[in-house]
Amino acid sequence: MAEHPLDIDEEFVEWDTIVDCGQDVDKVEVIDGEIKEIDDTYPMTQFRSRFKLQFEALYAISVTIIEAIALATQRAEPIPYHTSILSGEGWMLELLNGHPERIRTELGVHKHVFKILVDELQRHGFNHSKHVTLEEQLGIFLYTAVTGLTIRHVGERFQRSNGTISK
């Protein structure tokens, strides 16, 4: 068998390259990266169609894998957890403006003591955070101390995340 003068380094060969090399297409085959002559028992059209089918199967598998990865990495739309109409700040306002015994029942201190505690915290440099008022912060602390509830339960009462409650 005579070797073709065209040296092939790549695994895949464009069929135009084989046709342009001047050889009879039915008498060549790619073996070990080189174009070599073959006999007529295995015509190039069969090789070409087998190669095309393998390439199409590989392409279909690749597309399926990419789609599976895309589906696996998609995040579901988050569902809000704290959706109560009465926020922690709203509940604190309700306690401060409601019946005087309610704040004592829920937070363990009378209204005037609560206001003194807020003023004292402000005097020592404590203030509102970006999203939580100082009154609500104090309310969270007192409510936790009085009830002994878990962070999760206190977070539900104040409609705040566990991270906010634990600060």
SS (H, E, C) the chain: CCEEEEECCCCCCCHHHHHHCCCCHHHEEEECCEEEECCCCCCHHHHHHHHHHHHHHHHHHHHHHHHHHHHHHCCCCCCCCCCCCCCHHHHHHHHHHCCHHHHHHHHCCCHHHHHHHHHHHHHCCCCCCCCCCHHHHHHHHHHHHHHCCCHHHHHHHHCCCHHHHHC
pLDDT values of the chain reduced to their tens digit, one per residue, 167 residues: 445 544 444 444 444 444 445 444 455 556 666 666 655 555 556 666 777 888 888 888 999 999 888 888 887 788 888 888 889 999 999 999 999 899 999 999 999 999 999 999 999 999 988 899 999 999 999 999 999 999 999 999 999 998 889 88
